[in-house]
Amino acid sequence: MKNLIFTTLLVSGLASVMAPGAFAQQDTVVKDTVIKKKAKYTINIGGGSLVTKNTDSLDKVKKGRFVGGITFTRVDLGFSRLIDNGSFNLSPTNEFLDYKGGKTSTFSFDILQFGYRFNSNFKVYVAGGFDWTLIRLRDNITIQKNQPTLAYVNENIAFSKNRFSSSYVHIPLNFELRTKENNKGKRFYFILGPEISFLLNGKIKQISDERGKEKQYDNYHFQSVRYGGTFRLGYGGFGLFTKYYFNDMFNTTAQASLKNMSFGVTFGLN
């Protein structure tokens, strides 16, 4: 996870140095069509005579436009939490999934988006990207591959790292509201919307003195299709996010009502 944090901060730093909007695709600001209209007014001259003059008044008509393309934006880096029947405390059935909260994390970003900007303040778009949930297990266990249930074995090994993770392709539908630019050229952003995700794989990564570094891949009964919602609040290119997934984290009977949420910081909103 340290590598993920370093990479994210490095990319955000390079983006801020290179050019405005380097995190996001070039989302051309809605153009204004200026229409000039002749307006008449009269001036009462002291002697009572009237002089009629013409002046120009400007009416701005804002047009919407389609936007989209390849991008690298909405980089989310934060913490994940398991919710067991509405509680942050795991039930006895799920105690083997006990995790280190400070090292259980999430990382995601978008690489493309397509949508419509109605005006300079409101946009609706569909995006696509990748999402990882990284659970740092407390106990010295190994979750088993190719089992009919989410099964594990206890190990007589002290793992320095025992990480249980999932990776998804996610497709969010976002509704974005932003304010006008202030005198610093920055805006406030409010983004929310539903999201659907498709499982790529599950993974176990373990490090120990006895075995060294080991990796195993399987679906580990993670939901093949996951759906939830996201909310972001930001200023300039930086903000905060929270995500909640409505369906169960695993497609097993024993883990019914075990759900996942995450929260943290997001980069590249503008």
Distances (CA, A) of 7 to 10, 11, 56: 5, 6, 54
Q: Are residues 86 and 181 in the same domain?
A: yes
**Which pLDDT value is given to residue 27?**
52
Residues 104, 189, 235: CA angle, nearest 5 degrees: 75
Q: Are residues 120 and 54 in the same domain?
A: no
Q: Are residues 7 and 51 in the same domain?
A: no
Collect all residues with Cβ–Cβ distance below 8 Å to 200 and sequence separation of at least 6.
Answer: 130, 167, 168, 169
- Output 219 or 270, whichever has higher pLDDT: 219
- Say whether pLDDT at 11 is over 50: no
**Which pLDDT value is given to residue 47?**
44
Q: Are residues 53 and 79 in the same domain?
A: no
Q: Are residues 166 and 54 in the same domain?
A: no
Q: Are residues 46 and 16 in the same domain?
A: no
Query: Comparing C-alpha atoms, which of 99, 251, 243, 255 is closest to residue 163?
Result: 99
Q: Are residues 80 and 158 in the same domain?
A: yes
Q: Are residues 152 and 51 in the same domain?
A: no
Take residue 247 and report the two structure tokens written for it. Answer: 């369906």
Separation of alpha carbons 112 and 130, rounded Å? 11
The number of folded domains in the chain is 2
**Which pLDDT value is given to residue 50?**
44
How does pLDDT run across 220-229, given as a tens digit for each residue? 999 999 999 9
Q: Are residues 39 and 158 in the same domain?
A: no
**Which pLDDT value is given to residue 63?**
76
Instruction: For residues 77-92, give the mean pLDDT.
Output: 97
- Say whether pLDDT at 71 is over 80: yes
Q: Are residues 204 and 263 in the same domain?
A: yes
Instruction: Kindly indicate the confidence band of residue 62, based on its pLDDT and cuts at 50, 70 and 90.
Output: low
Q: Are residues 21 and 152 in the same domain?
A: yes
Query: Locate tokens 């229409």: which residue?
Result: 35
Q: Are residues 78 and 97 in the same domain?
A: yes
How does pLDDT run across 143-202, given as a tens digit for each residue? 999 999 999 999 999 999 999 999 999 999 999 999 999 999 999 999 999 999 999 999
Query: Comparing C-alpha atoms, which of 65, 63, 68, 96 is closest to residue 82?
Result: 96
Separation of alpha carbons 91 and 97, rounded Å? 10
- Say whether pLDDT at 60 is over 90: no
Instruction: For residues 239-256, give the mean pLDDT.
Output: 97
Domain of 152 in residue numbering reads as 2-29+63-267
Question: The whole model's pTM is what?
Answer: 0.78
**Which pLDDT value is given to residue 56?**
42
* % residues pLDDT > 70 (the chain): 77
Q: How much of the chain is helix, strand and coil, in % rounded to 5?
A: 10, 60, 30
Q: Are 227 and 47 in contact (CB under 8 A)?
A: no
- Say whether pLDDT at 40 is over 80: no
Q: Are 96 and 156 in contact (CB under 8 A)?
A: no
**Which pLDDT value is given to residue 20?**
42
